[in-house]
Structure 1
């Protein structure tokens, strides 16, 4: 993936500088503004690969910006980066048209990973008939999984989980991301439902094969790796 063209709307100049340096280190180009109105104008005048929005801006809220972008037909993927990280805040952002929501403070590596994942999905890679990663295949329309050409029988929920891991292959997937995108929950039900389902999927993908493909990142989540 070549460097992305990113718009960042954030009134904290120090944080904006940190994020700009982080994106530059990844080969991305970041355009920053502290004004919500200016950010809205820039997003309307130029196509950005990803838009990062603060939620609380002095002149126009991030929620207002994303609603006006969507109303104008601007489909650039939007990541909201906000100090408001409660479940109801996240839900409001997602309902307004935000594609992903991260609370401050955040891990720089996770921000980078989420931006890459947003761009992949927006570029249509996740909607191919077949998604390939290492020796794994995800047949989207047939809703089937294969490894080294061998069919791996999965339940509907296991396939949804597998599809999400394939969409984000090589990136750390947090429990929060799985709850939101696979279980459609905006809160943690405080059960082991994720661990149980990931465990079942891991066994099915790895039993009878030499190399593991689904690793646990302790304290964070999981990552699909190429065998």
Structure 2
């Protein structure tokens, strides 16, 4: 497991969340903790994580509602629900809400860690469907770096153009700051101006509406 793996832990029991956060950090995870569903939703929509660990009985936004909202916004991060509600019907409800795994409280620490490792392994095995992103007005073949538009046109992208498009298209409702794009797509560059340059390149090939400028915040996906 990579030391850079990031976990979002959403748990309102401060004692339990503190224990879990310390445990996960000892295992090499980078952990963000949210004490209620509203904060968890904000973090889940604005930051990238490798795995989510969610309680169900959360203040503000209930855990399964939080997960459903993340899935509705296109967040694919694998999720493990950790809840005292652990009879078969509860587990089925959690899995149907979009969770990849469900563990009842009280739980065995070693089992929890093993389940998180399994989620990370499954997430690392890229399914064929993840190599193609369907967009309004076209399809993006990630591996071939090619966009086929519904009007019959197509565009081949450079490696950096494709990386920028993938970042935006996989999270179409999220606004990425220039610094975030720089960190994700151009880690070897120091000047945020390179982001604006490649946004221009993508727009030139796919149309100005492909990338939307959100004034004062950054960029988000638009439409072909």
TM-score by length of 1: 0.54
1:65 and 2:66 are equivalent in the alignment: yes
1:86 & 1:52 partners in 2: Cα distance? 18
Q: Distance in 1 between matches of 2:9 and 2:41?
A: 11
Does residue 15 of the first structure (1) align with residue 30 of the second (2)?
A: no
Match of 2:2 in 1: 2
Residue 158 (structure 1) aligns with = none
Say if 1:120 and 1:126, in contact at 8 Å, map to a contact too.
Answer: no
Q: Which runs of 5+ in 2 are unaligned?
A: 129-224
How does 1:9-88 map onto structure 2 within 5 Å?
9-88=10-89
> Over residues 22-46 of structure 1, what are the superposed CA-to-partner deviations in whole Å (9 max), with x where a residue is unaligned?
1011111111010101100101001
Paired with 2:114 and 2:126, the residues of 1 have a C-alpha distance of: 16
Q: Which residue of 1 aligns with 2:113?
A: 112
Q: CA RMSD in A?
A: 1.3
- Equivalent-residue separation in structure 2 for 1:112 and 1:17 (angstroms): 16
How far off its partner does 1:123 sit? 1.4
Q: Which secondary structure does the structure 2 equivalent of 1:105 belong to? A: coil
> Counterparts of 1:175-214 in structure 2 under 5 Å?
none
Q: 1 CA distance for matches of 2:19 and 2:76?
A: 26
Over residues 108-142 of structure 1, what are the superposed CA-to-partner deviations in whole Å (9 max), with x where a residue is unaligned? 01111111110111111688xxxxxxxxxxxxxxx
How many residues align? The count is 127
Q: 1:126 to 1:118 in 2, by over 3 A?
A: farther
Distance 1:97 1:126 in 2: 17
- Look up the match of 2:98: 97
Partners of 2:42 and 2:48 in 1: CA distance: 11
Measure how far apart 1:21 and its partner are: 1.3
| Structure 1 residues 135-184: Cα deviation after superposition (integer angstroms, max 9, x where no partner) | xxxxxxxxxxxxxxxxxxxxxxxxxxxxxxxxxxxxxxxxxxxxxxxxxx
TM-score by length of 2: 0.55
Q: Distance in 2 between matches of 1:122 and 1:39?
A: 21
Deviation at 1:58, TM superposition (A): 1.6
1:91, 1:56 → 2: CA distance? 16
Question: C-alpha displacement at 1:59, in angstroms?
Answer: 1.2
Is the partner of 2:80 in helix, strand or coil? strand
